[in-house]
Amino acid sequence: MKNRYIPITLIVAVLSVAAIAGFLFPPAVQENPARVVMDNSGGRVIFTHFVHADEYGYECSDCHHDDIGQERPISCGSCHPVAFDAKFRAEHQKSFPSEEACLRCHDDVPTGPLAEEDKPDTESIPLRAEAFHAQCMDCHESDGGPYGEDSCYDCHAR
C-alpha cells in the first residue's frame, strides 16, 4: 500500500521544484507584448502586436505618435478616451510622465480647473475606437491587410 504513494510524492516534488524555479527565475519581459486585446462595440479585436512589430517590421512610431522621449509609448487611451466624460477630464493627467505631454492639447500646463474657452477642442481629437479604426484601416488599405466592408470579421470577433 505504501508503494503507491511513491509516484504521487515524486510528481508533487517535481511540480513543486518547477513552481519554485518559475517563481525564482521569471521569464524575461518581452520588448513587445505578444497580443493586445481591444474591446469595442464592433466586437473584440485581438491585435497581434508582436507579429506587426517584429515580423511585419513596423516601427513603434508607425502606430504610436508618442514623441516626448519616454522608453515606452503612452497608453492610447491617455489621449484618445472612450468618451470625453467627467472621469476622463478629472483623471487623464495621471497617465502622463511629465507636464510636457500637456502641451499636446493645452496651450499652457493647466494648474487648476480650466475656463470653458481654455479647454481644448475635443471635436478634433478622435475617440479611442475612431483612432484605432482609422489607424488600422489606413495601414490595411495601403499595406494589403484585410480591408473593406467584407473584412470586418477578419479582425473583429463576432
Q: Which residue has the cell 484618445?
A: 80
Beta-carbon contacts of residue 27 (< 8 Å; ≥ 6 apart): none
Q: What is the pLDDT of residues 85-112, one digit of tens each?
A: 888 888 888 888 788 888 888 888 888 8
Tell me what pLDDT residue 118 has. 83
Domains in the chain with CATH codes: 36-113+122-149 (3.90.10)
In percent, the amount of the chain with pLDDT more than 70 equals 94
User: Average pLDDT in the 13-19 region?
Assistant: 96
Which DSSP letter does residue 137 get?
H
Tell me what pLDDT residue 17 has. 96
Task: Write down the pTM of the prediction.
Answer: 0.63
Q: What is the pLDDT of residues 61-80, one digit of tens each?
A: 788 776 655 667 777 888 88
Q: Which residue has the cell 520588448?
A: 31
Backbone angles phi, psi at 107, to 5 degrees: -70, -35
CA distance 94 to 99: 10
CA distance 75 to 97: 11
CA distance 93 to 97: 9
Yes or no: say if 104 and 79 are a contact pair by the CB < 8 Å rule. Answer: yes
Tell me what pLDDT residue 70 has. 64
Q: What is the pLDDT of residues 119-155, one digit of tens each?
A: 888 888 888 888 888 888 888 898 888 888 888 888 8
